[in-house]
Amino acid sequence: MKRSISLLLLILCAHFSFASNPKLQKEHRYGDRGRFGTIKTSFVMWNPDAGSPYSEYGVEIDLINGFAFNPYFMLGGGVGVDFKWEKLAADQKTDLKTFIPIYAHIRCNILDRRLTPVIALNIGGAALVDDDKVQWGGWCVEPLAGIAVRLKNGKSIDLTASLHVQGGIFLGWDIGHKIGVSYTW
């Protein structure tokens, strides 16, 4: 019995001495725990009519802030500005609509390597800014997949493609495809 207790104490002491020594702890190659920020620019192609492929288009700028729990999992929130040019009719010019999405951001880096696949999900609400008034009541969902090229100190450049779905009281619902480039620090 004494030997078992002594062995258990020896294992516990070795474990806690390893955990308290920062030189012996596992260091991640490319990402650390802590706050992160991302700025993303995207080009969106909309297909509102089945007969006309990508008859509407837009650009979006997003700012995402959150917390990286480890080099693999990040959770945060984002806000963006989405400019969408709608085609009204064959003889009319296009109409500009501005959306403001506010959403939760969940991101998973698959590997702790310099080049890693990335999957993410943005889900939240949206507002339509039209003629100097803001109409709330929209929603947006955006699953993303892409590649992250990681730089030093947890920074990365991300190339993503996504399916962008938004809708609401003022819009009905639209589906678009989005291609984006972002910088994460």
**Tens of pLDDT, residues 137-146:** 788 899 999 9
C-alpha pair distances (Å), 26 with each of 21, 71, 72, 84, 185 = 10, 12, 15, 46, 22
Q: Could you tell me which of 62, 97, 107 has the C-alpha nearest to residue 81? A: 62
Residue 166 clears pLDDT 50, i.e. is over it: yes
- Place 173 in a pLDDT band, splitting at 50, 70 and 90: confident
Which tens digit of pLDDT belongs to each residue from 89-127? 566 666 788 888 999 999 999 988 889 999 999 999 988
- The predicted pLDDT at position 155 comes to 87
Q: What is the pLDDT of residue 80?
A: 92
- DSSP assignment of 38-70 equals EEEEEEEEE--SSSSTT-EEEEEEEEEEEEESS
Per-residue pLDDT tens over the stretch 21-57: 444 444 555 666 788 899 999 999 876 665 556 667 8
Alpha helices in the chain (DSSP H): 2-20
Q: What is the mean pLDDT of residues 76-94?
A: 78
Compute the radius of gyration of the chain from its Cα atoms.
Answer: 23
Distance CA 89, CA 73 (A): 45
Distance CA 133, CA 39 (A): 26
* pLDDT above 70 for 147: yes
Q: How far apart are CA 3 and CA 50, in angstroms?
A: 76
Q: Which residue has the higher pLDDT, 97 or 160?
A: 160
Determine if the pTM surpasses 0.85: no
Q: Is the model's pLDDT at 135 over the cut of 80? A: no
User: Looking at 151-185, which runs of residues are DSSP E strands?
Assistant: 156-168, 172-184
Mean per-residue pLDDT, 5-33:
52
d(CA 107, CA 119) in angstroms, rounded, equals: 6
Is the Cβ–Cβ distance between 154 and 30 less than 8 Å?
yes
Computed over every residue of the chain, the mean pLDDT equals 79
Q: Point out which residues pair with 182 in neighbouring strands.
A: 40, 158
pLDDT band at residue 130, thresholds of 50, 70 and 90? confident
What was the pLDDT predicted at 43?
95
